[in-house]
Amino acid sequence: MKVDKHLFRALAQFWNSAYSCFTFGRVDLVPTVEEYMALLRCEKMQVDKVYSRAVNPSTFLKKLMNITGMSEQWVTA
């Protein structure tokens, strides 16, 4: 999947890990499945199915650090 790194970096800055939502000023937003699909350009996903995949946490953290440009401490938190 091709990821828009600029969009991902912008979203990462507003992610509130304590509440698992995006926080813009005093407004908390939680995207719907359809909105996540649009942001991530995943047109082939089916809303009524559960998707999961085994993830190697260290590889995932390295990719997340690379995409966001954030420190390891920020990504781990």
pLDDT by position in tens, the chain (length 77): 677 788 878 888 888 888 778 888 889 888 777 777 776 676 666 666 665 565 566 776 777 777 778 787 776 76
Residue 13's domain comprises 5-76
Number of domains in the chain: 1
Helix (H) or strand (E) holding 16: strand 15-16
**Residue-level pLDDT at 8:** 79
Helix (H) or strand (E) holding 73: helix 72-76
- pTM, two decimals, is 0.44
Rounded distance between C-alpha atoms, residue 49 and residue 22, angstroms: 24
Rounded distance between C-alpha atoms, residue 36 and residue 14, angstroms: 15
**Residue-level pLDDT at 22:** 87
